[in-house]
Structure 1
Amino acid sequence: PAIIEYLEERYPQAPLLSKDLATRAHERAVASIIGCDVHPLHNSSTQNLLRQWGHDEAQLLEWIGHWISQGLGAVEQLIGDQGFCFSEQPGLADTFLIPQLYAAERFKVPLAAYPRIGRVAALAAQHPAFVQAHPANQPDTPAA
């Protein structure tokens, strides 16, 4: 969140937050759901602790999948019916959602139950900033 807020203040000509206060609250809610409630539960440190407690890889995948699904279900209810999460241009919520969808794919979480999220994912897949930022397009990503 600190990096996002820095970018918002440093480059106001490309805002990540809406001017409308109610929409800003929804944008921040989506970012918080993903950044605070979902993402930390599948970090490697969390996975390592679960392994130390005796959980196998299938249990880890089920556990992670449960929490990603719960978070995406909440996000699905908050985002709009057109464009990216809250507008025709990507914003704060999208910068949190799109990387989480990569994690959902990585942990084999089906996305069919989230049509709004699917729409946002399709838009992001064609947006140059998201294409460039995708993990598969990073020089330190191992080839599949």
Structure 2
Amino acid sequence: MILHDFPLSSASYRVRIVLNLKGLAYEKRNYVLRAGEQRSPEYLAVNPAGLVPALEVGGLRLGQSLAIIDYLDALHPKPRMIPADPIERARAMELTLTIACDIHPINNLRILQYLEHDLGQDKAAVDGWYRHWVEQGFATLEKLLPDTSFAGGDAPNIVDACLVPQMFNARRFKVDLTPFPRLTAMADRAGETPAFRNAAPPLV
């Protein structure tokens, strides 16, 4: 099992967490995104989107972190990342997609580079853009969180695997987390467990 990775990619970070939670061994191949290594012909042959992560298992080559997590859950169902119960599954995916669709895509590296290089925005404006969308998404999550130990329930699941990387990046961009006490506490609780700690990128 090969994970095509970049330590600071929150999408890759999600997959590393899930691989650790499931106790699966894998080989990491890292790409420096700011240097454009993910757009090399060799990597585009693995993932035509030119994004990380991508997972190779046997002859399968799969991109998109949530698709990878769903595949790993089907192949190695314990511990479950996506609940089997229809209501619990729907709630978990509501929280997950708030992060993976409403926050992350408009704040990832290629968007920030477009704002800077193509639209001529300075660092203060780019960082302000990042914080604005994180704060909006976190405000929604703070209201939706269940009364459980972790964001995903009584044990970490796909919600926590998405939340912890997003919280890591929120802190990198100096988002004011004061309005989100429950969200912060749940992310920190999950982040302190071995599977999450061992998936974390180096502090920057």
TM-score by length of 1: 0.89
The aligned runs of 1:42-121 (5 Å cut-off) are 42-51=107-116, 52-121=118-187
One-letter code aligned to 1:75: L
The number of residues matched between the two structures is 138
| Residue pair 1:30, 1:78 contacting (<8 A) in 2 also | yes
Q: Could you tell me how far 1:63 is from its partner in structure 2?
A: 0.8
Equivalent runs, 1:4-43 vs 2, <5 Å:
4-43=69-108
- Structure 2 distance, partners of 1:47, 1:125, is 26
User: In structure 1, how many angstroms separate the alpha carbons of the residues matched to 2:154 and 2:196?
Assistant: 15
Percent identical residues: 35
> Quick check: 117-126 or 90-99, which moved more?
117-126
Distance in 2 (CA, whole Å) between partners of 1:122 and 1:106 is 15
Q: C-alpha deviations, 1:80-139, integer Å up to 9, x for none?
A: 122001322101111111100011011111212112212212212321111001112xxx
Structure 1, 58-67 or 43-52: larger mean CA deviation = 43-52
Deviating 4+ runs (over 3 angstroms):
none
- Stretches of structure 2 that go unaligned for 5 or more consecutive residues are 1-65
Q: Which has the higher helix share?
A: 1
Q: Does the 8 A contact of 1:83 with 1:119 survive in 2? A: no
Q: Deviations over 1:26-64 (max 9, x none)?
A: 111111111111111121211111112121110111111
- Given residue 36 of structure 1, which amino acid in structure 2 is its aligned partner? C
